[in-house]
A and B are shown apart, each in its own frame.
Chain A
Amino acid sequence: MTRRPPAFVVALGVVAAGLLVLPLVALAQRAPWRDLGAILASGPVLDALWLSLATATAAAAVCVVLGVPLAWVLARMRGRGATVARALVALPMVLPPVVGGAALLFALGRRGVVGDWLADQFGIVLVFSPAAVVLAQAFVAMPFLVLSVEAALRSVDPRYEDAAATLGAGRWVTFVRVTLPMVLPSLATGAVLAWARALGEFGATITFAGNLRGRTQTMPLAVFLALEHDREAAIALSLLLIAVAFVVLVALRDRWLLTSGRH
Protein backbone atom coordinates (compact mmCIF):
# COMPACT_ATOMS: atom_id res chain seq x y z
CA MET A 1 0.00 0.00 0.00
CA THR A 2 1.38 3.39 -0.97
CA ARG A 3 -1.67 5.30 0.12
CA ARG A 4 -0.13 6.57 3.35
CA PRO A 5 1.31 10.07 2.88
CA PRO A 6 5.08 10.54 3.30
CA ALA A 7 6.45 11.31 6.75
CA PHE A 8 7.01 15.03 6.20
CA VAL A 9 3.42 15.44 5.07
CA VAL A 10 2.23 13.69 8.22
CA ALA A 11 4.51 15.95 10.29
CA LEU A 12 3.11 19.13 8.70
CA GLY A 13 -0.38 17.76 9.15
CA VAL A 14 0.28 17.25 12.84
CA VAL A 15 1.51 20.84 13.14
CA ALA A 16 -1.65 22.06 11.41
CA ALA A 17 -3.84 19.99 13.70
CA GLY A 18 -1.92 21.35 16.69
CA LEU A 19 -2.49 24.92 15.56
CA LEU A 20 -6.22 24.25 15.31
CA VAL A 21 -6.65 22.18 18.44
CA LEU A 22 -4.14 23.63 20.93
CA PRO A 23 -6.08 26.87 21.58
CA LEU A 24 -9.23 24.83 22.19
CA VAL A 25 -7.38 22.63 24.67
CA ALA A 26 -6.06 25.76 26.43
CA LEU A 27 -9.62 27.06 26.57
CA ALA A 28 -10.87 23.83 28.11
CA GLN A 29 -8.01 23.95 30.60
CA ARG A 30 -9.16 27.31 31.91
CA ALA A 31 -12.82 26.37 32.03
CA PRO A 32 -14.65 26.66 35.35
CA TRP A 33 -15.86 23.07 35.16
CA ARG A 34 -17.40 23.10 38.64
CA ASP A 35 -19.61 26.13 38.01
CA LEU A 36 -20.31 25.29 34.39
CA GLY A 37 -23.90 24.19 34.96
CA ALA A 38 -24.82 27.29 36.96
CA ILE A 39 -23.24 29.67 34.44
CA LEU A 40 -24.85 28.05 31.43
CA ALA A 41 -28.31 27.70 32.93
CA SER A 42 -28.67 31.48 33.36
CA GLY A 43 -31.31 33.38 31.41
CA PRO A 44 -29.05 35.55 29.25
CA VAL A 45 -26.99 32.53 28.15
CA LEU A 46 -30.02 30.51 27.13
CA ASP A 47 -31.47 33.54 25.32
CA ALA A 48 -28.23 33.98 23.39
CA LEU A 49 -27.90 30.28 22.58
CA TRP A 50 -31.46 30.02 21.33
CA LEU A 51 -31.10 33.18 19.26
CA SER A 52 -27.82 31.94 17.79
CA LEU A 53 -29.23 28.57 16.78
CA ALA A 54 -32.36 30.12 15.30
CA THR A 55 -30.60 32.86 13.35
CA ALA A 56 -27.77 30.65 12.09
CA THR A 57 -30.29 28.08 10.85
CA ALA A 58 -32.34 30.79 9.17
CA ALA A 59 -29.19 32.23 7.61
CA ALA A 60 -28.18 28.80 6.29
CA ALA A 61 -31.66 28.42 4.82
CA VAL A 62 -31.38 31.83 3.13
CA CYS A 63 -27.99 30.77 1.76
CA VAL A 64 -29.46 27.57 0.27
CA VAL A 65 -32.56 29.21 -1.22
CA LEU A 66 -30.63 32.08 -2.80
CA GLY A 67 -27.17 30.55 -3.10
CA VAL A 68 -28.04 27.48 -5.19
CA PRO A 69 -29.59 29.56 -8.00
CA LEU A 70 -26.57 31.87 -7.89
CA ALA A 71 -24.23 28.88 -8.07
CA TRP A 72 -26.20 27.50 -10.99
CA VAL A 73 -25.88 30.80 -12.90
CA LEU A 74 -22.18 31.10 -12.07
CA ALA A 75 -21.46 27.53 -13.13
CA ARG A 76 -22.91 28.21 -16.59
CA MET A 77 -21.08 31.50 -17.12
CA ARG A 78 -18.00 31.53 -19.35
CA GLY A 79 -15.05 33.83 -19.96
CA ARG A 80 -13.79 36.94 -18.19
CA GLY A 81 -17.22 37.84 -16.86
CA ALA A 82 -17.41 34.53 -15.01
CA THR A 83 -14.03 35.09 -13.37
CA VAL A 84 -15.06 38.54 -12.18
CA ALA A 85 -18.45 37.31 -10.96
CA ARG A 86 -16.84 34.47 -9.01
CA ALA A 87 -14.38 36.86 -7.38
CA LEU A 88 -17.22 39.21 -6.40
CA VAL A 89 -19.12 36.36 -4.77
CA ALA A 90 -16.03 35.34 -2.77
CA LEU A 91 -15.32 38.89 -1.53
CA PRO A 92 -17.29 38.66 1.73
CA MET A 93 -14.84 35.90 2.76
CA VAL A 94 -11.91 38.32 2.74
CA LEU A 95 -13.75 41.45 3.77
CA PRO A 96 -13.33 42.12 7.50
CA PRO A 97 -16.80 41.30 8.88
CA VAL A 98 -17.02 44.69 10.62
CA VAL A 99 -16.63 46.34 7.21
CA GLY A 100 -19.26 43.97 5.84
CA GLY A 101 -21.58 45.11 8.61
CA ALA A 102 -20.93 48.75 7.79
CA ALA A 103 -21.59 48.03 4.11
CA LEU A 104 -24.88 46.41 5.08
CA LEU A 105 -25.73 49.56 7.06
CA PHE A 106 -24.99 51.75 4.02
CA ALA A 107 -27.28 49.56 1.94
CA LEU A 108 -30.03 48.50 4.32
CA GLY A 109 -29.77 50.91 7.25
CA ARG A 110 -32.48 53.46 7.92
CA ARG A 111 -30.55 55.96 5.80
CA GLY A 112 -29.20 53.32 3.42
CA VAL A 113 -29.91 53.15 -0.30
CA VAL A 114 -32.43 50.33 -0.01
CA GLY A 115 -33.22 50.68 3.69
CA ASP A 116 -34.54 54.21 3.23
CA TRP A 117 -36.96 52.96 0.57
CA LEU A 118 -38.02 49.95 2.66
CA ALA A 119 -38.82 52.22 5.60
CA ASP A 120 -40.70 54.70 3.41
CA GLN A 121 -42.74 52.23 1.39
CA PHE A 122 -43.35 49.42 3.83
CA GLY A 123 -42.34 50.76 7.23
CA ILE A 124 -39.74 48.01 7.47
CA VAL A 125 -36.70 48.86 9.59
CA LEU A 126 -34.16 46.05 9.58
CA VAL A 127 -31.40 47.55 11.72
CA PHE A 128 -31.30 46.29 15.32
CA SER A 129 -33.72 43.45 14.53
CA PRO A 130 -33.25 39.65 14.50
CA ALA A 131 -33.72 39.86 10.72
CA ALA A 132 -30.63 42.05 10.60
CA VAL A 133 -28.72 39.31 12.44
CA VAL A 134 -29.81 36.77 9.81
CA LEU A 135 -28.84 39.11 6.97
CA ALA A 136 -25.41 39.80 8.48
CA GLN A 137 -24.84 36.08 8.91
CA ALA A 138 -26.07 35.25 5.40
CA PHE A 139 -23.78 37.94 3.99
CA VAL A 140 -20.66 36.33 5.44
CA ALA A 141 -21.82 32.71 5.03
CA MET A 142 -23.22 32.75 1.49
CA PRO A 143 -19.85 32.41 -0.32
CA PHE A 144 -19.17 29.11 1.44
CA LEU A 145 -22.31 27.62 -0.01
CA VAL A 146 -22.10 29.20 -3.45
CA LEU A 147 -18.47 28.28 -4.09
CA SER A 148 -18.99 24.73 -2.87
CA VAL A 149 -22.08 24.12 -5.00
CA GLU A 150 -20.71 25.94 -8.03
CA ALA A 151 -17.53 23.85 -8.12
CA ALA A 152 -19.62 20.69 -7.94
CA LEU A 153 -21.98 21.87 -10.70
CA ARG A 154 -19.07 22.60 -13.02
CA SER A 155 -17.63 19.15 -12.50
CA VAL A 156 -20.88 17.40 -13.45
CA ASP A 157 -20.48 15.59 -16.77
CA PRO A 158 -22.70 17.53 -19.24
CA ARG A 159 -23.61 14.26 -21.01
CA TYR A 160 -26.06 13.42 -18.19
CA GLU A 161 -27.88 16.70 -18.74
CA ASP A 162 -27.75 16.20 -22.51
CA ALA A 163 -29.24 12.75 -22.13
CA ALA A 164 -32.05 14.08 -19.96
CA ALA A 165 -32.73 16.81 -22.50
CA THR A 166 -32.78 14.27 -25.32
CA LEU A 167 -35.39 12.33 -23.37
CA GLY A 168 -37.56 15.44 -23.29
CA ALA A 169 -36.82 16.91 -19.88
CA GLY A 170 -36.88 20.71 -19.62
CA ARG A 171 -34.10 22.73 -18.03
CA TRP A 172 -35.78 22.91 -14.63
CA VAL A 173 -36.66 19.21 -14.51
CA THR A 174 -33.15 18.28 -15.69
CA PHE A 175 -31.61 20.40 -12.96
CA VAL A 176 -33.84 19.16 -10.15
CA ARG A 177 -33.97 15.47 -11.16
CA VAL A 178 -30.51 14.93 -12.66
CA THR A 179 -28.01 17.63 -11.75
CA LEU A 180 -29.04 18.50 -8.20
CA PRO A 181 -28.90 14.91 -6.87
CA MET A 182 -25.34 14.63 -8.19
CA VAL A 183 -24.21 17.79 -6.32
CA LEU A 184 -26.19 17.05 -3.15
CA PRO A 185 -23.11 16.14 -1.08
CA SER A 186 -21.49 19.45 -1.99
CA LEU A 187 -24.71 21.28 -1.26
CA ALA A 188 -24.84 19.65 2.17
CA THR A 189 -21.20 20.52 2.84
CA GLY A 190 -21.78 24.09 1.74
CA ALA A 191 -24.88 24.42 3.89
CA VAL A 192 -23.09 23.05 6.96
CA LEU A 193 -20.12 25.36 6.42
CA ALA A 194 -22.47 28.30 5.97
CA TRP A 195 -24.34 27.37 9.15
CA ALA A 196 -21.11 27.09 11.12
CA ARG A 197 -19.83 30.40 9.79
CA ALA A 198 -23.16 32.05 10.66
CA LEU A 199 -23.07 30.59 14.18
CA GLY A 200 -19.69 32.17 14.91
CA GLU A 201 -20.46 35.50 13.21
CA PHE A 202 -19.51 38.54 15.27
CA GLY A 203 -18.27 41.62 13.40
CA ALA A 204 -21.01 42.11 10.83
CA THR A 205 -23.67 41.31 13.43
CA ILE A 206 -22.54 43.87 16.00
CA THR A 207 -22.15 46.53 13.32
CA PHE A 208 -25.42 45.96 11.48
CA ALA A 209 -27.73 44.46 14.10
CA GLY A 210 -26.36 45.91 17.33
CA ASN A 211 -26.49 44.09 20.63
CA LEU A 212 -29.63 43.53 22.70
CA ARG A 213 -30.36 40.56 24.89
CA GLY A 214 -33.02 38.24 23.48
CA ARG A 215 -33.24 40.18 20.23
CA THR A 216 -29.85 40.54 18.57
CA GLN A 217 -27.38 39.31 21.19
CA THR A 218 -26.05 36.08 19.72
CA MET A 219 -23.58 33.80 21.50
CA PRO A 220 -20.44 35.41 20.05
CA LEU A 221 -21.63 38.83 21.24
CA ALA A 222 -22.47 37.44 24.67
CA VAL A 223 -19.02 35.85 24.82
CA PHE A 224 -17.33 39.12 23.92
CA LEU A 225 -19.20 41.02 26.61
CA ALA A 226 -18.58 38.32 29.20
CA LEU A 227 -14.89 38.42 28.35
CA GLU A 228 -14.90 42.05 29.49
CA HIS A 229 -15.90 41.39 33.07
CA ASP A 230 -16.26 37.69 33.75
CA ARG A 231 -13.62 35.54 32.08
CA GLU A 232 -14.94 32.25 33.39
CA ALA A 233 -18.41 32.90 32.06
CA ALA A 234 -16.93 33.80 28.67
CA ILE A 235 -15.02 30.52 28.54
CA ALA A 236 -18.07 28.57 29.64
CA LEU A 237 -20.13 30.22 26.90
CA SER A 238 -17.48 29.49 24.30
CA LEU A 239 -17.34 25.85 25.33
CA LEU A 240 -21.10 25.59 25.02
CA LEU A 241 -20.98 27.13 21.54
CA ILE A 242 -18.16 24.79 20.52
CA ALA A 243 -19.93 21.74 21.95
CA VAL A 244 -23.21 22.51 20.19
CA ALA A 245 -21.48 23.14 16.87
CA PHE A 246 -19.31 20.04 17.25
CA VAL A 247 -22.26 17.76 17.93
CA VAL A 248 -24.19 19.16 14.99
CA LEU A 249 -21.22 18.94 12.63
CA VAL A 250 -20.42 15.36 13.62
CA ALA A 251 -24.05 14.30 13.34
CA LEU A 252 -24.48 15.94 9.94
CA ARG A 253 -21.23 14.56 8.65
CA ASP A 254 -22.23 11.03 9.54
CA ARG A 255 -25.63 11.36 8.05
CA TRP A 256 -24.87 13.35 4.92
CA LEU A 257 -21.36 13.85 3.88
CA LEU A 258 -19.66 10.58 4.65
CA THR A 259 -22.34 8.27 3.34
CA SER A 260 -23.38 10.15 0.25
CA GLY A 261 -20.14 11.97 -0.38
CA ARG A 262 -18.01 8.96 -1.23
CA HIS A 263 -18.30 7.22 -4.55
Chain B
Amino acid sequence: MTRAAPALAALVVLVGGAACCGSGSGPALRVSAASSLTAALTEIADAYERETGVHVVLDSAGSQTLATRIVEGAPVHVFASADADPVDAVVASGLARGPGEVFAANTLAIAVPLGNPAGIRSLADFARSGASLGLCARQVPCGRAARRALDRAGVDASVDTEELDVRALVTKVEAGELDAAVVYRSDIVGARGHLGHVAIADDDNVRVQHVIVALRGGGAEADAFVDFVRSPRAARILRTVGFDVS
Protein backbone atom coordinates (compact mmCIF):
# COMPACT_ATOMS: atom_id res chain seq x y z
CA MET B 1 0.00 0.00 0.00
CA THR B 2 2.80 2.43 0.83
CA ARG B 3 4.26 2.48 -2.65
CA ALA B 4 0.93 2.72 -4.41
CA ALA B 5 -0.34 5.53 -2.18
CA PRO B 6 1.46 8.52 -3.77
CA ALA B 7 0.40 7.47 -7.24
CA LEU B 8 -3.16 7.04 -6.06
CA ALA B 9 -3.13 10.41 -4.36
CA ALA B 10 -1.82 12.04 -7.54
CA LEU B 11 -4.59 10.42 -9.53
CA VAL B 12 -7.24 11.60 -7.06
CA VAL B 13 -5.87 15.15 -7.23
CA LEU B 14 -5.81 15.08 -11.03
CA VAL B 15 -9.34 13.76 -11.29
CA GLY B 16 -10.56 16.04 -8.51
CA GLY B 17 -8.83 19.01 -10.11
CA ALA B 18 -10.41 18.30 -13.46
CA ALA B 19 -13.82 18.03 -11.84
CA CYS B 20 -13.51 21.16 -9.70
CA CYS B 21 -12.74 23.82 -12.22
CA GLY B 22 -15.92 23.91 -14.23
CA SER B 23 -17.60 26.77 -12.42
CA GLY B 24 -16.89 29.79 -10.27
CA SER B 25 -13.65 31.36 -9.29
CA GLY B 26 -11.47 31.07 -6.23
CA PRO B 27 -11.08 27.98 -4.10
CA ALA B 28 -14.23 25.98 -3.48
CA LEU B 29 -15.27 24.26 -0.30
CA ARG B 30 -15.73 20.59 -1.10
CA VAL B 31 -18.57 18.96 0.84
CA SER B 32 -19.40 15.25 0.66
CA ALA B 33 -23.00 14.61 1.65
CA ALA B 34 -24.91 11.38 2.21
CA SER B 35 -27.50 10.87 -0.50
CA SER B 36 -30.32 11.36 2.02
CA LEU B 37 -28.93 14.82 2.88
CA THR B 38 -28.10 16.07 -0.60
CA ALA B 39 -31.25 18.07 -1.29
CA ALA B 40 -31.23 19.84 2.08
CA LEU B 41 -27.49 20.54 1.97
CA THR B 42 -27.75 21.91 -1.55
CA GLU B 43 -30.18 24.52 -0.27
CA ILE B 44 -28.04 25.24 2.76
CA ALA B 45 -24.94 25.54 0.59
CA ASP B 46 -26.74 28.02 -1.67
CA ALA B 47 -27.67 30.14 1.34
CA TYR B 48 -24.09 29.91 2.61
CA GLU B 49 -22.73 30.95 -0.76
CA ARG B 50 -25.02 33.97 -0.92
CA GLU B 51 -24.00 35.00 2.59
CA THR B 52 -20.25 34.44 2.46
CA GLY B 53 -19.35 34.24 -1.22
CA VAL B 54 -17.61 30.94 -0.59
CA HIS B 55 -18.30 28.53 -3.43
CA VAL B 56 -19.47 25.14 -2.18
CA VAL B 57 -19.11 22.01 -4.32
CA LEU B 58 -21.29 19.13 -3.16
CA ASP B 59 -20.83 15.53 -4.05
CA SER B 60 -23.17 12.84 -2.92
CA ALA B 61 -23.17 9.08 -2.46
CA GLY B 62 -23.91 6.58 0.27
CA SER B 63 -22.32 7.61 3.59
CA GLN B 64 -20.08 4.55 3.68
CA THR B 65 -18.84 5.15 0.15
CA LEU B 66 -17.99 8.73 1.02
CA ALA B 67 -16.20 7.68 4.21
CA THR B 68 -14.15 5.16 2.23
CA ARG B 69 -13.17 7.82 -0.31
CA ILE B 70 -12.17 10.25 2.44
CA VAL B 71 -10.06 7.66 4.25
CA GLU B 72 -8.42 6.88 0.89
CA GLY B 73 -7.39 10.50 0.52
CA ALA B 74 -10.16 12.21 -1.45
CA PRO B 75 -9.67 16.00 -1.13
CA VAL B 76 -12.86 16.74 0.81
CA HIS B 77 -13.33 19.52 3.38
CA VAL B 78 -16.60 18.64 5.09
CA PHE B 79 -18.37 15.31 5.50
CA ALA B 80 -22.10 15.05 6.26
CA SER B 81 -23.14 11.50 7.05
CA ALA B 82 -26.53 9.84 7.48
CA ASP B 83 -25.46 8.30 10.77
CA ALA B 84 -22.52 8.26 13.16
CA ASP B 85 -20.70 5.07 12.08
CA PRO B 86 -19.05 6.38 8.88
CA VAL B 87 -17.96 9.55 10.70
CA ASP B 88 -16.41 7.46 13.47
CA ALA B 89 -14.31 5.70 10.83
CA VAL B 90 -13.09 9.02 9.45
CA VAL B 91 -12.37 10.40 12.94
CA ALA B 92 -10.52 7.21 13.86
CA SER B 93 -8.23 7.60 10.87
CA GLY B 94 -7.20 11.05 12.15
CA LEU B 95 -8.62 13.01 9.24
CA ALA B 96 -11.21 15.07 11.15
CA ARG B 97 -10.72 18.44 12.80
CA GLY B 98 -12.86 17.39 15.73
CA PRO B 99 -15.56 14.94 16.73
CA GLY B 100 -18.67 14.67 14.58
CA GLU B 101 -21.59 16.95 15.50
CA VAL B 102 -25.25 15.98 15.24
CA PHE B 103 -27.02 18.62 13.13
CA ALA B 104 -30.37 17.03 12.41
CA ALA B 105 -32.38 13.93 13.15
CA ASN B 106 -34.75 11.87 11.12
CA THR B 107 -37.26 9.13 11.61
CA LEU B 108 -38.27 6.39 9.23
CA ALA B 109 -41.41 6.19 7.16
CA ILE B 110 -42.83 3.99 4.44
CA ALA B 111 -42.73 5.54 0.98
CA VAL B 112 -45.36 4.34 -1.48
CA PRO B 113 -46.20 5.45 -5.02
CA LEU B 114 -49.00 8.01 -5.26
CA GLY B 115 -52.33 6.33 -4.62
CA ASN B 116 -50.66 3.47 -2.72
CA PRO B 117 -51.58 0.84 -5.35
CA ALA B 118 -50.66 -2.13 -3.17
CA GLY B 119 -52.61 -0.80 -0.17
CA ILE B 120 -49.63 -0.79 2.21
CA ARG B 121 -50.71 0.08 5.76
CA SER B 122 -47.83 -0.70 8.10
CA LEU B 123 -44.44 -2.39 8.47
CA ALA B 124 -46.30 -5.70 8.78
CA ASP B 125 -46.98 -5.52 5.03
CA PHE B 126 -43.26 -6.06 4.44
CA ALA B 127 -43.81 -9.73 5.17
CA ARG B 128 -46.25 -9.91 2.24
CA SER B 129 -45.11 -11.80 -0.84
CA GLY B 130 -47.45 -10.26 -3.42
CA ALA B 131 -46.17 -6.71 -3.26
CA SER B 132 -42.90 -5.39 -4.66
CA LEU B 133 -40.91 -4.19 -1.66
CA GLY B 134 -37.53 -2.58 -1.08
CA LEU B 135 -35.11 -1.62 1.67
CA CYS B 136 -31.64 -0.15 1.73
CA ALA B 137 -28.84 -2.70 1.97
CA ARG B 138 -27.89 -3.48 5.56
CA GLN B 139 -24.43 -2.02 4.94
CA VAL B 140 -25.77 1.54 4.59
CA PRO B 141 -27.34 3.66 7.37
CA CYS B 142 -30.92 3.65 6.06
CA GLY B 143 -30.76 -0.13 5.77
CA ARG B 144 -29.46 -0.52 9.32
CA ALA B 145 -32.23 1.70 10.66
CA ALA B 146 -34.95 -0.02 8.62
CA ARG B 147 -33.94 -3.42 9.93
CA ARG B 148 -33.98 -2.17 13.52
CA ALA B 149 -37.53 -0.93 12.96
CA LEU B 150 -38.62 -4.21 11.35
CA ASP B 151 -37.09 -6.11 14.26
CA ARG B 152 -38.99 -3.97 16.75
CA ALA B 153 -42.20 -4.56 14.85
CA GLY B 154 -41.41 -8.27 14.81
CA VAL B 155 -41.69 -8.40 11.02
CA ASP B 156 -39.74 -10.94 9.01
CA ALA B 157 -39.38 -8.87 5.85
CA SER B 158 -39.32 -10.47 2.43
CA VAL B 159 -38.11 -7.87 -0.06
CA ASP B 160 -37.35 -7.75 -3.76
CA THR B 161 -34.31 -5.52 -3.61
CA GLU B 162 -31.80 -4.06 -1.17
CA GLU B 163 -30.68 -0.82 -2.78
CA LEU B 164 -27.22 0.62 -2.35
CA ASP B 165 -28.41 4.02 -1.19
CA VAL B 166 -31.64 5.69 -0.16
CA ARG B 167 -31.90 7.88 -3.28
CA ALA B 168 -31.92 4.81 -5.52
CA LEU B 169 -34.63 3.29 -3.32
CA VAL B 170 -36.78 6.44 -3.41
CA THR B 171 -36.40 6.68 -7.19
CA LYS B 172 -37.70 3.15 -7.64
CA VAL B 173 -40.78 3.89 -5.54
CA GLU B 174 -41.40 7.12 -7.47
CA ALA B 175 -41.13 5.17 -10.72
CA GLY B 176 -43.75 2.74 -9.43
CA GLU B 177 -41.40 -0.25 -9.64
CA LEU B 178 -41.65 -0.76 -5.88
CA ASP B 179 -44.95 -0.77 -3.98
CA ALA B 180 -43.27 0.29 -0.76
CA ALA B 181 -39.88 1.02 0.77
CA VAL B 182 -38.62 2.05 4.19
CA VAL B 183 -36.90 5.43 3.81
CA TYR B 184 -36.28 8.54 5.88
CA ARG B 185 -39.26 10.78 6.54
CA SER B 186 -37.30 13.66 4.99
CA ASP B 187 -37.02 11.73 1.70
CA ILE B 188 -40.80 11.70 1.39
CA VAL B 189 -41.20 15.36 2.38
CA GLY B 190 -38.36 16.23 0.00
CA ALA B 191 -40.11 14.46 -2.87
CA ARG B 192 -42.66 17.31 -2.77
CA GLY B 193 -45.81 15.44 -3.57
CA HIS B 194 -44.35 12.74 -5.83
CA LEU B 195 -44.50 10.07 -3.12
CA GLY B 196 -47.17 8.73 -0.82
CA HIS B 197 -46.46 8.46 2.90
CA VAL B 198 -47.39 5.67 5.31
CA ALA B 199 -46.39 6.32 8.91
CA ILE B 200 -44.52 3.82 11.04
CA ALA B 201 -45.89 3.31 14.56
CA ASP B 202 -43.90 5.32 17.14
CA ASP B 203 -43.07 2.20 19.13
CA ASP B 204 -41.41 0.62 16.09
CA ASN B 205 -39.82 3.71 14.62
CA VAL B 206 -36.13 4.45 14.83
CA ARG B 207 -34.53 7.83 15.27
CA VAL B 208 -31.46 8.46 13.15
CA GLN B 209 -29.02 11.25 13.89
CA HIS B 210 -27.23 12.91 10.99
CA VAL B 211 -23.67 13.89 11.76
CA ILE B 212 -21.38 16.48 10.18
CA VAL B 213 -17.64 16.85 10.62
CA ALA B 214 -14.99 19.29 9.36
CA LEU B 215 -11.99 17.56 7.85
CA ARG B 216 -8.29 18.31 8.22
CA GLY B 217 -7.91 19.53 4.64
CA GLY B 218 -10.64 22.13 5.06
CA GLY B 219 -9.13 24.40 7.71
CA ALA B 220 -11.17 27.18 9.33
CA GLU B 221 -13.36 27.41 6.21
CA ALA B 222 -14.66 23.93 6.93
CA ASP B 223 -15.39 24.85 10.57
CA ALA B 224 -17.31 27.91 9.40
CA PHE B 225 -19.50 25.82 7.10
CA VAL B 226 -20.19 23.27 9.84
CA ASP B 227 -21.20 26.14 12.16
CA PHE B 228 -23.54 27.45 9.48
CA VAL B 229 -25.17 24.03 9.04
CA ARG B 230 -25.82 24.02 12.80
CA SER B 231 -27.18 27.59 12.80
CA PRO B 232 -30.87 28.56 13.20
CA ARG B 233 -30.89 29.67 9.56
CA ALA B 234 -29.94 26.18 8.31
CA ALA B 235 -32.29 24.61 10.87
CA ARG B 236 -35.23 26.39 9.22
CA ILE B 237 -34.25 24.92 5.84
CA LEU B 238 -33.82 21.46 7.34
CA ARG B 239 -37.23 21.59 9.04
CA THR B 240 -39.03 22.56 5.85
CA VAL B 241 -37.78 19.38 4.17
CA GLY B 242 -38.79 17.10 7.00
CA PHE B 243 -35.78 16.86 9.29
CA ASP B 244 -36.02 17.21 13.08
CA VAL B 245 -33.76 19.89 14.47
CA SER B 246 -33.80 20.42 18.21
Contact of A111 among B8, B65, B177 (CB under 8 A): B177
In the complex, given contacts A206-B163, A228-B62, what are 9 additional A-B residue pairs having Cβ atoms less than 8 angstroms apart?
A: A30-B1, A128-B160, A206-B168, A210-B134, A210-B161, A210-B163, A211-B137, A211-B164, A213-B162
Minimal Cβ-Cβ distance residue in B for A210: B161
CA distance A128 to B135 in the complex (A): 13
| Nearest-Cβ distance from residue B145 to partner chain A, whole angstroms | 15
Chain A residues with CB under 8 Å of B68's CB are: 227-228, 231
Chain B residues with CB under 8 Å of A105's CB are: 175, 177
- Which B residues between 185 and 238 are near A, CB-CB below 8 angstroms? none
B-contact bits for A8-35, CB 8 A (1 contact / 0 none): 0000000000000010001001100000
Contact B175 A109 (CB under 8 A): yes
- Which A residues between 107 and 146 are near B, CB-CB below 8 angstroms? 109-111, 125, 127-128
| Nearest-Cβ distance from residue B136 to partner chain A, whole angstroms | 10
Q: Is A225 among interface residues, defined by CB-CB distance under 8 A?
A: yes
Contact B177 A212 (CB under 8 A): no
Question: Given known contacts A110-B177, A225-B137, A227-B68, is B161 in contact with A212 (CB within 8 Å)?
Answer: yes
Contact A127 B164 (CB under 8 A): no
Q: Is B129 among interface residues, defined by CB-CB distance under 8 A?
A: no
A-contact bits for B123-134, CB 8 A (1 contact / 0 none): 000000000101
CA distance A216 to B177 in the complex (A): 15
| Nearest-Cβ distance from residue B241 to partner chain A, whole angstroms | 24
B-contact bits for A202-217, CB 8 A (1 contact / 0 none): 0000110111110010
CA distance A224 to B65 in the complex (A): 9
Chain A residues with CB under 8 Å of B175's CB are: 105, 109, 111
A-contact bits for B26-65, CB 8 A (1 contact / 0 none): 0000000000000000000000000000000000001011
Q: A residues bordering B, Cβ < 8 Å?
A: 22, 26, 29-30, 105, 109-111, 125, 127-128, 206-207, 209-213, 216, 221, 224-225, 227-229, 231
Q: 25 A-B residue contacts at CB 8 Å? A: A26-B4, A29-B1, A105-B177, A109-B175, A110-B132, A110-B176, A111-B177, A127-B177, A128-B161, A206-B163, A206-B164, A209-B161, A210-B134, A210-B160, A210-B172, A211-B137, A211-B164, A212-B162, A221-B164, A224-B164, A227-B65, A227-B68, A228-B68, A228-B137, A229-B139
Chain B residues with CB under 8 Å of A30's CB are: 1
Contact B139 A228 (CB under 8 A): yes
Which of A26, A206, A229 has the largest number of chain B CB atoms within 10 A?
Answer: A229
Question: Given known contacts A30-B1, A225-B137, A229-B139, is B176 in contact with A212 (CB within 8 Å)?
Answer: no
CA distance A210 to B168 in the complex (A): 9
Chain B residues with CB under 8 Å of A224's CB are: 164
Chain A residues with CB under 8 Å of B96's CB are: none
Chain A residues with CB under 8 Å of B4's CB are: 26, 29
